[in-house]
Amino acid sequence: MSAMPLPEAPVTDRTPSITTVVVQPTPFCNIACRYCYLPDRDSTARMSLDTVRATFEAVFASGWSLPDLTVIWHAGEPLAVPAAWYQEAFELIDALRPQGIRVRHAFQTNGTLITPDWCALFRRWDVGVGVSIDGPREIHDANRVNRKGRGTFDKTLAGIACLQAEDVPFHVISVLSAPSLADPEGMLAFYVDNGIADICFNVEESEGDHVSSLLAERSAKDLFSDFLIRFWHRSRHDESVRFLREIDRMLERIMDPTNASVENAQVNPFGMVNVDCKGNVSSFSPELLGMKHAGYDNFIVGNVHHDSLEDMLRSSSMRAMQRDISAGVKACKAECAYFSVCGGGSPINKLTENGSFSTTHTRFCDLIEKVPTDIILDALSDLERTIEHDVPLRSAV
């Protein structure tokens, strides 16, 4: 697939607003989840501190960083790099940080390597921590295994216990597969039993070599909707969950008292800046780092050791992606009822599901945007009837 001829001028002259820098300190992962598609997870390459310096010199020199900048360390398994390396990296970034910009670091980890030393680093720098755990042992160990094929449940749960013992706040992300979708009550009981109160769900997707049997089914949307409704009702009834991302983040977007446009950083050039361990840069979606596409120069817009962000913004790759992603957003705006709470979808999903950035609807849209929105609007209608008929509200089960 090749890109169409580039326009003479940039698609938009809007100044970028960097909300997030996603850094891949290593592609290596110490486990081998069955549904993982990452091609380089055996590579033990590590980002140098020179690359960290070059990355943040470029970001701060651009003047495009928002006052609150999130730096997400992700890859691979970010904790496969020693805590001492992050201490140096964080100090380096802090020394480069201009006045008026606050930086918050975040990790997404499989949890198996968490120790009190890591917790000390998390506390010292107020790091946001997300742990990937899929639910009870039999569900988690069905996919999240080490290189010998053995389950990682015990080590992940030990990591969570360490965070709790060391008083480090964290959330979890659980990938939902067919068994977990069928048992929301069992999933909730697992979180409650283990003191987990902040929860995010992903639905298993097909990606790379991994083909999800779940999303091949036309009923995935209905399965997820049923799961989410039951989980939401039960968890709100017994106050067992503090934050349920799929409902609560959508509710925040629907009930935005400022009526502001949804900022979708995934569709804006350098809304997020993604950097691999060699200093190669992409934007839009971190998944694009490592993917191949001749028409977009493999999605790489430059390298922090050679190019400024201004140079990268003018690169042929960035302009081609920007043109096609903008076309997709424009089409979404014209045809999709959910645009006001979405802002144009996820380019990576458009590309992987539909073959083009310039398309619109994806199954990912159904699960992430439409299902939660429909649930909330239905609930609002129910509340309207409750008030109108002056019937009492009861607890949510």
Partner 1 sequence: MHSRNRTNRALALLLPAGLIGASTILASAHATAVRPATAATGDAAVERDVANRLAYIRTTLATDLTETRPAGTKASKLILAWMNFGGFGWRNGGWRNGGWRNWGNGWHNWGNGWHNWGNGGWHNFWHNW
Touching partner 1, residues 290-309 (CB under 8 A): 290
Among 203, 309, 332, 371, binds partner 1 (CB under 8 A): 203
CA distance 224 to 154: 27
| Residue 296 DSSP symbol | G
Q: Is residue 340 near partner 1 by the rule CB under 8 A?
A: yes
| Of 7-15, 155-163, 179-187, 336-344: span binding partner 1 (CB under 8 A) | 336-344
Residue 301: name the closest of 273, 268, 271, 325 by CA: 273
Q: Is residue 310 near partner 1 by the rule CB under 8 A?
A: no
Q: In whole angstroms, how close is the CB of 395 to partner 1 at the nearest point?
A: 6
Which residues ranging from 56 to 95 are in contact with partner 1 (CB under 8 A)?
68, 70, 72, 74
The angle subtended at Cα 37 by Cα 130 and Cα 25, nearest 5°, is 50
Q: In whole angstroms, how close is the CB of 337 to partner 1 at the nearest point?
A: 4
Q: Is residue 334 near partner 1 by the rule CB under 8 A?
A: no
CB under 8 A, 24+ apart: contacts of 45-49: 45/277, 45/278, 46/81, 46/85, 46/277, 47/23, 47/81, 47/276, 47/277, 47/278, 47/279, 49/85, 49/88, 49/89, 49/92
Binding mask 149-188 for partner 1 (x = CB under 8 A): ----------------------x-x-x-------------
Q: What count of Cα atoms within 13 Å lies in the side-chain half-sphere of residue 151?
A: 13
Closer to partner 1 by Cβ: residue 9 or 393? 393
Q: Is residue 242 near partner 1 by the rule CB under 8 A?
A: yes
Residue with tokens 């992962």: 29
Among 9, 95, 294, 391, binds partner 1 (CB under 8 A): 391
Binding mask 349-388 for partner 1 (x = CB under 8 A): x--x-----------x---x----xxxxxxxxxxxxxxxx
Q: In whole angstroms, how close is the CB of 207 to partner 1 at the nearest point?
A: 4
Closer to partner 1 by Cβ: residue 49 or 397? 397
Among 341, 343, 350, 371, binds partner 1 (CB under 8 A): 341
Q: In whole angstroms, how close is the CB of 52 to partner 1 at the nearest point?
A: 19
Contact 97, 61 (CB under 8 A): no
In the sheet that 302-303 helps form, which strands lie side by side, from edge to edge?
Answer: 243-244, 198-203, 171-176, 128-132, 102-109, 65-73, 18-23, 272-275, 280-283, 302-303
Q: In whole angstroms, how close is the CB of 117 to partner 1 at the nearest point?
A: 22
What tokens were used for 258? 């400022």
| Of 184-192, 203-211, 301-309, 316-324: span binding partner 1 (CB under 8 A) | 203-211
φ and ψ at residue 185, rounded to 5 degrees: -65, -40
Which residues ranging from 89 to 128 are in contact with partner 1 (CB under 8 A)?
104, 106, 108, 110, 128
Residue 315: name the closest of 301, 303, 325 by CA: 301
Among 53, 97, 236, 278, binds partner 1 (CB under 8 A): 236
Q: Is residue 257 near partner 1 by the rule CB under 8 A?
A: yes
Phi-psi region of 384 (alpha: psi -120 to 50; beta: other; left: phi over 0): alpha
Among 204, 297, 324, 366, binds partner 1 (CB under 8 A): 204
Strands (E), the chain: 18-23, 65-73, 102-109, 128-132, 171-176, 198-203, 243-244, 272-275, 280-283, 302-303
Strand pairing category for 102-109 and 198-203 = unpaired
Among 30, 115, 143, 308, binds partner 1 (CB under 8 A): 143
Which residues ranging from 6 to 25 are in contact with partner 1 (CB under 8 A)?
19-20
CB atoms within 10 A of CB 148: 6
Q: In whole angstroms, how close is the CB of 188 to partner 1 at the nearest point?
A: 13
